[in-house]
Chains A and B, each alone.
Chain A
């Protein structure tokens, strides 16, 4: 734009409003329900190893979710959140990235972390907030994070990761900027992907993050998971516009909408988005459309806010089965082996659960460590006083009393 108002100059003499739904946004779909490539669609460039990893990750997450949902009902963990119905939105988008790309997730994206190689034991340690948890038992279950795997630790406040993703991605771009010209002098090696739900997109941080990413040309992929519900609030009580995708244009961000139950469509869209983002140094918005088949978390029951008929309409379509059918057609998967592996994974999950739930809680020291890089004097004093108190009443603090030095 070359005018002070930064607008396209298109003078008209006819009084006319732009329609509130002027954009006609298509939804990219590649894979049919029977695992066939739909007419007019092209399968993305995906090799066998990636496809198999993608499938086995989705399969693992489904089984982990089933087991941990049950474990919460048994009272073994306090809380859980399933990815049910959105496995093919999360996993392929992570699979289309480089392993060093940063992932800033909301909370339901455990499949992306599993794809990166977070182990079953690591999942369990976090869920049981035991002393082996990387997060030192400080956050509720499913708030995973791993520096080694470039997966930022989950934060409960919604949407806060969105402007953070912009800042992180800007940092990733910095070294590729020629100080003399301000232009990119090489292809950006790593970017950031930022996941959030359609509900979180109502937060001010969404606006701040997307606008700043556009203005500062940060290589970040904004991945909006439009799954229809924010806890109990349906999308039509969340916004009036055409999904989240319609907003991208308002920010001057290239945007695509994909079928979030179609692993190949999500993979293709993310792969193409990544390429544009690292070549041009720009953000991309991807809106994935899927249905949250499960509850928001173990703390709510969807029968209180949506009908059985509605759920039944979506339950028939399983994103993992859909991708599996394609793999079978490709001859990359064997049905019998797949079933046998599932049984083995179920056993492994139960065994890991039984181990993790017996690992002791973090030591008292972890109550005060990491508030600062070093405890400040006031906190150090409080800690010494607390230790003395616990020593005097060990029976009241059985988790830590026996381990105080």
Chain B
């Protein structure tokens, strides 16, 4: 075990991957000698060579097109999109190509070797274009897997699982936690299963569900609630696609209440999918309507970021509303 921040944990997962397969390549904007704008790939070019860790021209559609080709060839393709806000030029390559490669070819070809890493989310004064959480766009696309870690330990284990998974995966990294989140991380290799949520804290009155950086927020809200005498069960969804209906449903059957929180705008956010599925699965067990505490239906703001974000106070207000319903 070693103390690592999330960047170190990610770097460690990449390092293990590069050492394990001499065809694995890391590429994206500024990921080479500079080590990425957040330094997630720091030191890897020196270790594995310019031919395996390299800067690409500034073209996200090109990065993903290249990645699809390299993955189809059979090499682990570790593509970085510098900010999730800039993933949209690559939308066609991801949605029409990566996601459908296996299906459309009848399994003659696949891009299971593809892993896309991209920092997402707010809290860094990044405004409209350095703060978005675009997971819901991709959650509407069969063929993709989507994973979000909440701390360094989870980041390393989940990223290794994404890389080993034989499907294209987008790994959304909560950039607000890159350096802020520090914890014990094994130096050796390990994986955390994709598609499984984790009950982080057991409770009896209300289930709080989030993923990534939002976990910290619902944990803070739960502390306030505990002080007010409300017992919260806290769950980290971890995988958005596929997502663990069973664990959430089991918790909601127990607590009778569910609050989902994410930073992305509320309308058609992934919380909507969870709410729809859980109300169907747990209808007769619900004590109150499933609630969502999310971003507003606006672009991500700058000066009014504090007002926009679903902070712990907003989550706590929802908890009170839910138990008093």
Number of contacting residues on B, CB 8 A? 54
Check if B23 is an interface residue, CB within 8 A of chain A. Answer: yes
Of the A-B pairs whose beta carbons lie under 8 Å apart in the complex, a sample of 29, sorted by A's number, is: A104-B69, A133-B106, A134-B106, A135-B105, A136-B107, A139-B104, A147-B108, A152-B109, A153-B104, A155-B104, A160-B92, A160-B97, A163-B65, A168-B72, A172-B73, A174-B23, A179-B48, A182-B50, A204-B59, A205-B92, A208-B62, A212-B59, A212-B66, A216-B54, A216-B66, A373-B167, A376-B242, A377-B245, A378-B242
B62 in contact with A211 (CB, 8 Å): yes
A205 in contact with B61 (CB, 8 Å): yes
B75 in contact with A171 (CB, 8 Å): yes
Check if A370 is an interface residue, CB within 8 A of chain B. Answer: yes
Residue among B74, B142, B145 with max Cβ neighbours from chain A (10 Å): B142
- Give chain B residues whose Cβ lies under 8 Å from the Cβ of A102: 73
- Give chain B residues whose Cβ lies under 8 Å from the Cβ of A155: 96-97, 100, 104
B66 in contact with A138 (CB, 8 Å): no
Contact of B70 among A133, A171, A179, A204 (CB under 8 A): A171
| Interface membership of chain A positions 150-185, coded 1 if the CB is closer than 8 angstroms to chain B and 0 otherwise | 001101010010111111111110110101001000
Check if A145 is an interface residue, CB within 8 A of chain B. Answer: yes
Contact of B57 among A104, A138, A215 (CB under 8 A): A215
A373 in contact with B102 (CB, 8 Å): yes
B60-86: which residues lie under 8 A (CB-CB) from chain A?
Answer: 61-62, 64-75, 77
With A138-B103, A370-B107 given, can you name 10 additional A-B contacts, CB distance below 8 Å? A162-B65, A163-B62, A163-B69, A174-B23, A175-B23, A182-B50, A204-B61, A205-B92, A216-B56, A372-B145
A373 in contact with B112 (CB, 8 Å): yes
Nearest residue (CB) in B for A102 is: B73
B178-204: which residues lie under 8 A (CB-CB) from chain A?
Answer: 195
A138 in contact with B73 (CB, 8 Å): no
Nearest residue (CB) in B for A126 is: B106
Chain A residues close to B by CB (< 8 Å): 102, 104, 133-136, 138-139, 143, 145-147, 152-153, 155, 157, 160, 162-172, 174-175, 177, 179, 182, 192, 204-205, 207-209, 211-212, 215-216, 369-373, 376-379
Check if B297 is an interface residue, CB within 8 A of chain A. Answer: no
Contact of A167 among B66, B96, B102 (CB under 8 A): B66
B69 in contact with A164 (CB, 8 Å): yes
Nearest residue (CB) in A for B110 is: A373
| Interface membership of chain B positions 230-248, coded 1 if the CB is closer than 8 angstroms to chain A and 0 otherwise | 0000000000011101100
A208 in contact with B59 (CB, 8 Å): yes
A212 in contact with B51 (CB, 8 Å): no
B104 in contact with A135 (CB, 8 Å): yes
Given the interface pairs A171-B70, A212-B66, the reply to whether A153 lies near B112 with Cβ below 8 Å is no
- Give chain A residues whose Cβ lies under 8 Å from the Cβ of B110: 373
Check if B143 is an interface residue, CB within 8 A of chain A. Answer: yes
Check if B89 is an interface residue, CB within 8 A of chain A. Answer: yes
| Interface membership of chain B positions 29-66, coded 1 if the CB is closer than 8 angstroms to chain A and 0 otherwise | 00000000000000000001111101011010110111
For the complex of A and B, list the 3 residue pairs with the smallest distance between their C-beta atoms, beginning with the closest.
A163-B65, A167-B69, A208-B62
- Give chain A residues whose Cβ lies under 8 Å from the Cβ of B74: 171
Residue among B49, B106, B110, B241 with max Cβ neighbours from chain A (10 Å): B106
